[in-house]
Amino acid sequence: MFVATVCLLAASAGAAEAWAQKAEPLAQGNEPMAQNNLKLIQAYFAADKQHPPSTRFDPEIPKITVFWKSAGLEVGDRIRVVWVAEDVGEANPKETKINEKTVMTLMRSEEGSLFLARPGGRTWPVGKYRVDFFINNKFAQAVKFVIGQGPSVDVKH
């Protein structure tokens, strides 16, 4: 069974603001920025805030971070983030939920980051993954990434 750790981190206001001003939805294979009754989520993946955004990661990478920014929320709205292994071969059944975290908004526009740590003493199972965002239990957006050998695919933001 594939087990990983997910943690909530507060994004630094300056770094998150800088990417949010230039952010676009991720490249092909990812849903565009979603609208949920005028409530929006933008997100991208990176190893950490010192690395560029990417949609492909090496199986040896220690953690993968999803950075997100929302707009149009009400104070008290709940953002639920669900990490899913879409297809990782025989490592797990398709569409396996890895972990999830829910945060309550304190402002109309929130930003933050969550990371998923590699399973202890192992590499990431090669395959397709995604993070589903929900606002008040309504689907808002799916953002996808791949674990596999090969060149990293940097995403301009």
- Domain residue extents for the chain: 5-147
Give the model's pLDDT for residue 139: 95
pLDDT-derived band of residue 7, with 50, 70 and 90 as boundaries?
very low
- Which one is predicted more confidently, 24 or 57? 57
Cβ-based neighbours of 61, under 8 Å, separated by 6 or more:
47, 118, 124
So what's the pLDDT on residue 156? 52
pTM for the complete prediction? 0.73
User: Is 20's pLDDT higher than 50?
Assistant: no
Q: Which fold has domain 5-147?
A: Immunoglobulin-like (2.60.40)
Share of the chain above pLDDT 90, in %: 62
Contact between 53 and 144 under an 8 Å Cβ cutoff? The reply is no
What letter does residue 89 receive in the DSSP assignment?
A: G
- Residue-wise pLDDT tens digits, 91-129: 999 999 999 999 999 998 889 999 999 878 899 999 999
Q: pLDDT value at position 94?
A: 96
Question: What would the two tokens of residue 12 be?
Answer: 């630094």
C-alpha angle with apex 10: 5 to 15, nearest 5 degrees?
120
- Short-list 111, 133, 125, CA closest to 12: 111
